A and B are shown apart, each in its own frame.
Chain A
Amino acid sequence: MNNGYVHQKSIEVFARILGVDPATISVDSSPATISEWDSLAHVQLILELEKAFDIQISPDQAMEFENFKMVTDWISTQV
């Protein structure tokens, strides 16, 4: 599985859970740039990313993610 696949699929998950246009999500996206990405949504994002990639993300790891790139970089090491 390549990084492009992880990137694209993550965008789909983020857009669906946060209710935003996929075109607004990029490697620079973070809770500071997407108003819908709050701490409660973060929990939902983690759960949906686990399902989408069939991986386990520990709660401690999940709390380390500070932006979209950190999320996709970490997922790329797992799939």
Chain B
Amino acid sequence: MLASDVGPNLEKVVEYIVAKSAFQKKAVFRLLENGDPQYLEFAELVVERLNRALGNHEGVHAYLADCYLNYTKAIRIEEMYFAKENKYRQSEFDKVYEEIYGNNNYMAEYVAGLGMTQIFWLNHYAIFRFFLDQFLPLIQGARTGAEIGVGHGLFHSELLRLTPGLRTTLLDISPVSLDTTRKMIAAAGVDPERTTSILCDVQKEIPLEDGSLDVLLMGELIEHIQEGRAVMTKLGDKMRPDGFCFFSTAANAPAQDHILLFRDTGEIRSFIAACGWKILKEQTGTINNISLEKAEREGHNINYVAVLTKA
């Protein structure tokens, strides 16, 4: 039985999920039972926005549920591989591109499933709250921005909605991600013409002017990239001296497209510093609220989010 303050779109998706997966039924009910009004409002907003971005058709709630279940199933498979082999399954970007980013049908489901994790995974929700509460207040008045690896577009749609006057460039290797993000921006009531989409592999070129960015978003990007250090270093050149970068990544977080493996937060901080960035503020999180110390010692998932500036 769901609480009465669960929104109608969220409720429909949850109904499909609990009917199809005993595992997710438990997880979702636990989450919703403990959900505060702010969380429930956010969760409804995400589903409603994805719904509109995907065309608001009759089967969209079932589609979102299926995408989420498929996404989580793929993660569980990777977790088993990681637990056995102590490394991520993927090591080459070209192979990931072939399997995932270059496969438009797969990507459509992938970005929808990933979008649903923003509400059903508390660690992803915590990252989004950091983005809203800690990052966006820093960039009011920003004029020029970019996001690398736009994914489902939720972050970018909120960036534009809450930062009037900002114009941005979207860079992604997947046309599906670029298209979904523009639709999410429109679904948020923002003019998508405030953005320019560029289909590109940032490991080969970063088509942004040096010293041009007030704002850069690179959420959950770097672990997907084989040439992570080179890209992160070059991105620093694109910033204005007083620009801010929203950065998130994860340690010990196997996924079907993760390549760069961080073992602990120390490795992440060293990586950031070695690429010429400075940490202004940061936040870490773990699954099931285990201590950071235990997660690092035993190799469990750690989420890391920070505001960076050029060093």
Contact = CB atoms under 8 A, between A and B. Distances in A.
Name A's interface SS: helix
Given A31-B26, A38-B26, 16 more contacts: A39-B23, A39-B24, A39-B27, A39-B72, A40-B288, A42-B23, A43-B76, A43-B80, A43-B83, A46-B80, A47-B80, A59-B80, A59-B81, A62-B80, A63-B73, A63-B76
A54 interface: no
5 contacts: A32-B22, A35-B26, A38-B26, A39-B76, A47-B80
Contacts of A66: 22
A25 B24 CA distance: 21
Name B's interface SS: helix
B287 A40 contact: yes
Nearest to B300: A40
Interface of B: 22-27, 72-73, 76-81, 83-84, 287-288
A59 B77 contact: yes
Contacts of A60: 77
A54 to B, nearest CB: 14
A59 B76 contact: yes
Interface string A32-66: 10010011101100110000000000011011001
A53 to B, nearest CB: 15
A76 interface: no
B26 A47 contact: no
Nearest to A60: B77
Nearest to B73: A63
A47 B79 CA distance: 11
Interface of A: 30-32, 35, 38-40, 42-43, 46-47, 59-60, 62-63, 66
Ranked nearest first, the 9 interchain pairs of A and B with the lowest CB-CB distance are: A59-B77, A31-B22, A39-B23, A59-B80, A32-B22, A43-B79, A31-B23, A43-B80, A47-B83
Contact of B23 (A38, A46, A47): A38
Contacts of B27: 38-39
Contacts of A59: 76-78, 80-81
Nearest to A56: B84
A47 B84 contact: yes
A12 B282 CA distance: 43
B233 to A, nearest CB: 35
A48 B287 CA distance: 21
Nearest to B72: A39
A67 B216 CA distance: 46
Nearest to B75: A39
**Residue of A31, A35, A39, A60 most packed against chain B (CB within 10 A):** A39
